[in-house]
């Protein structure tokens, strides 16, 4: 994979995960959509008299937060690896067979 493509994918992953994370924290729209897609009619059913997303068997917000953190870390790794390849090429270490 070329360093330019790595850099673009890394930037995209970081931007989209930050955008979705902020959108989810402000509006709770993303976690509601994912919860409804996974659980269907059981989403937000009362459990012990309390309406919550535990009726699905998992916490949607926590899983989304872990996914977004993982995507941010993956994007940072792609950015760093693309910069490392670029620096090696700029120093002339990969040119001329030396």
pLDDT (tens digit, 9 = 90+) per residue, 63-84?
888 999 999 999 999 999 887 7
Q: What predicted TM-score, i.e. pTM, was given to this entire model?
A: 0.71
Q: Are 16 and 30 in contact (CB under 8 A)?
A: no
Domain ranges of the chain: 3-90
* Backbone φ/ψ region at 96: left (φ over 0), alpha (ψ -120 to 50), beta: left
Nearest-5° angle of CA 35, CA 29, CA 78?
Answer: 85
What pLDDT digit, counting tens, does each position of 40-71 carry? 777 777 777 777 666 666 678 888 889 999 99
pLDDT at residue number 35 = 81
Per-residue pLDDT tens over the stretch 13-27: 999 999 999 998 898
**pLDDT band per the 50, 70, 90 thresholds, residue 98:** very low
Tell me what the pLDDT averaged over the chain comes to. Answer: 80
């Amino acid at each position: 994979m070329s360093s330019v493509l790595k850099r673009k994918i890394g930037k995209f992953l970081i931007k989209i995960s930050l955008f979705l994370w902020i959108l989810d924290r402000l509006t709770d729209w993303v976690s509601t959509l994912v919860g409804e897609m996974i659980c269907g009619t059981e989403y937000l059913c009362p459990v012990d008299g309390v309406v919550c997303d535990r009726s699905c068997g998992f916490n949607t917000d926590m899983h989304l937060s872990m996914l977004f953190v993982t995507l941010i870390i993956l994007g940072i790794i792609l950015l760093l690896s693309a910069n490392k390849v670029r620096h090696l090429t700029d120093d002339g270490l990969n040119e001329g067979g030396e």
